[in-house]
Structure 1
Amino acid sequence: MDPRALPPRLVIDPSLPPEVALELRSSPHILRMARSGARVDTTHNPTLLFALPGFLMLVSVMAGFTGLFAVSLGFGLIVLMRWIATDSTYRSTRRRLRLAREHAARYILPEDLDYPCQMLLRRAQNAVETILNSRVHRDGLIDTIDNQVTLPEEVWQIGQRLRRLSSMHAEQGRIIPRELPPGMENAFKPYTKALDAAWTSLSRRVRHLESYAKQVLKADKVYQTHRRLEALAAKTPEYQQLIADTVRDELAQERIRELADQAAHVRKLFEESILEARLAAGELIRTPLT
């Protein structure tokens, strides 16, 4: 399946404390429970779990069946261990559910968005992933902005606005009738245009991210070529000596000059690609969503 057609990943407010963000990210099903208003079942009664083993132990004591007593004791221990594990899971789920409700506005699930907004958010996430996984980013060559901090914040800001836009789209769908009385069409147009303007602005923002990612990919390819050439450049004196020793003087000078020119050309391409990536990043700095 085309990755661009996949739903977006969970987005969490990057300003949350890391331990809280990690807790929320580790249990998306709990976040969905919090969104839907579901509750953890509190009606289970642990006493019932021990009723049968307790009854068997009582019977064995009264009847003097030591074998039955041992079996009952073993069964009781198994039930006890299972109850401890179940109770621990129950308390952990309840704690995570409480945390998810406390921070309900600080994360965005795919189902919080309508389909067009899901696809736009996914595009933004893919662009950021491309940038952060690039070699030029990891080697600190495109440090015009602090990608590790700024780009997750950018995705969060885009996601928040898309969630709001999705909600208002749904609200319009409920309020505006499918068939409008004659002459009433224009009355609703300003509201529709407002949402269209917001969508256009967010789409442009995502295109800026994608443009940045495209320039980073280009810089990455040139960077890899540049690194390979550097490995050869270290051996340039050997190549120059080989040519000087085996080729007549005029041709030797030309070939030696070509080696130097080729190294300079790739270096220039590399520097230009890094500059283009930084300029693309500058578009994000000049028009911050925040």
Structure 2
Amino acid sequence: MEDWIDEPIVDPIVSELDRQKIISMPVLLHRSSELSSRTRRFFTVSGSIAGVIGAFLAGVAIQSDSQPAAFVSVLAFIIAGLFVNTGRPSLTTRLQHLYGDCYIIPADLDDNALGLIRRARKAIESVSTSRVNRLGLLDDIANDVVLPEKLWDIARLLRAQVALRAEQDEAMSEVVTPELAAVIAPQREALDRSITSVTKQVVELEDYANRVQEADAALRAHELLKSNDKYRDLLAQTDDAQGLQNLTEHVNVLESALAKNLRDAIDAGQTLATPGDIAAV
């Protein structure tokens, strides 16, 4: 996926079945404009009336064998269906009613928040697709439980920050009196501290992803050591004793590096979870 925010972010507590329902709805990528309750009621009532007219005309058509009446009754039923469907709440609204605030979509965020979300999702994707993760060499709790929770926490905080930032921008667009400035200043400071904290969490994810990539590189180098026998044979045929010794020393260094890189990646993943997160698991 090229754009890491194309898919809605879903609260990990949502079941996998419901999560798939949410992310498979393209309409969620944008907040659709919802009709007012009064307008929806108008369409619903009008559709019901059209349905009653259609039923009446259908009865007339049956009794009198009137083709015009039959045609108009069908038309009335079609109009009734369209009006009733228009009067229903939108799919986005129905999903919101069903799942509440359990998902976040691009329209919930501004450009700054989207940038951080892209970075977080890219880091998590990098970890998930790494070979050391696929081989089960990393901490399963950190990758399967902590990372989805961390992404959701970041997205949830960013959504709240966006709403508060919009509220402050609206307030600052008015005449800024000393009283207004006195209220906004500490609020803006609190918001800035929150943004700094979330940015730090994203950086921690990126640091973990970098450690995992280093472990991947070390694993690849370790696998290439299997080819050393071929090089030993080649050096033995050329009577290069020093070359053989260098290969042996290099094996020891790479094996130690692989073990260290794996430990570093696992440690970095564990720091993403608080003691409470691990205890809950």
Q: TM-score range by the shorter chain?
A: 0.7 to 0.9
Describe the SS at the equivalent of 1:159: helix
Aligned length: 261
Describe the SS at the equivalent of 2:273: helix
Report what 1:281 is aligned to: 269
Shift of the 181–152 alpha-carbon distance from structure 1 to 2, 3 Å rule, reads same
In the TM superposition, what whole-angstrom CA distance separates every residue of 1:234-262 from its partner, at most 9, and x where no partner exists? xx2x6545644x455xx4x4333222212
Describe the SS at the equivalent of 2:225: helix
1:196 positional shift: 0.3
Shift of the 268–144 alpha-carbon distance from structure 1 to 2, 3 Å rule, reads farther
Structure 1 stretch 180-189 or stretch 142-151: which is displaced more? 180-189
The one-letter amino acid paired with 2:9 is V
Report what 2:8 is aligned to: 10
Structure 1 residue 136 and structure 2 residue 124: aligned?
no
Shift of the 110–95 alpha-carbon distance from structure 1 to 2, 3 Å rule, reads closer
Kept in 1, the 8 Å contact 2:142–2:272? The answer is: no
Equivalent residue runs for 1:64-79 within 5 Å? none
TM-score, normalization by structure 1: 0.71
Equivalent residue runs for 1:47-196 within 5 Å? 98-143=94-139, 145-181=141-177, 185-196=181-192
Question: Where does structure 2 lack aligned partners over 5 or more consecutive residues?
Answer: none
The one-letter amino acid paired with 1:284 is L
In the TM superposition, what whole-angstrom CA distance separates every residue of 1:152-188 from its partner, at most 9, and x where no partner exists? 1110111111111111111122233454246864442
The one-letter amino acid paired with 1:172 is Q
Report what 2:23 is aligned to: 25
User: What root-mean-square deviation, in Å, do the aligned CA atoms of Structure 1 and Structure 2 show?
Assistant: 4.2
Name which one, 1 or 2, has greater alpha-carbon Rg: 1
Kept in 1, the 8 Å contact 2:8–2:28? The answer is: no
Distance (whole Å) between structure 1 residues aligned to residue 60 and residue 221 of structure 2: 78
Report what 1:198 is aligned to: 194
1:99 positional shift: 3.9
Kept in 1, the 8 Å contact 2:142–2:269? The answer is: no
The one-letter amino acid paired with 1:12 is V
1:142 positional shift: 1.6
Distance (whole Å) between structure 2 residues aligned to residue 148 and residue 207 of structure 1: 19
Kept in 1, the 8 Å contact 2:29–2:107? The answer is: no
Structure 1 stretch 191-200 or stretch 269-278: which is displaced more? 269-278
Distance (whole Å) between structure 2 residues aligned to residue 229 and residue 277 of structure 1: 22
1:206 positional shift: 0.3
Shift of the 210–287 alpha-carbon distance from structure 1 to 2, 3 Å rule, reads farther
Question: Where does structure 1 lack aligned partners over 5 or more consecutive residues?
Answer: 63-71, 77-81
Describe the SS at the equivalent of 1:257: helix
Report what 1:256 is aligned to: 244
Report what 1:267 is aligned to: 255
Kept in 2, the 8 Å contact 1:14–1:152? The answer is: yes
Describe the SS at the equivalent of 1:167: helix
1:115 positional shift: 1.6
Distance (whole Å) between structure 2 residues aligned to residue 280 and residue 273 of structure 1: 10
Q: Give me the identity figure in percent.
A: 26
1:7 positional shift: 4.7
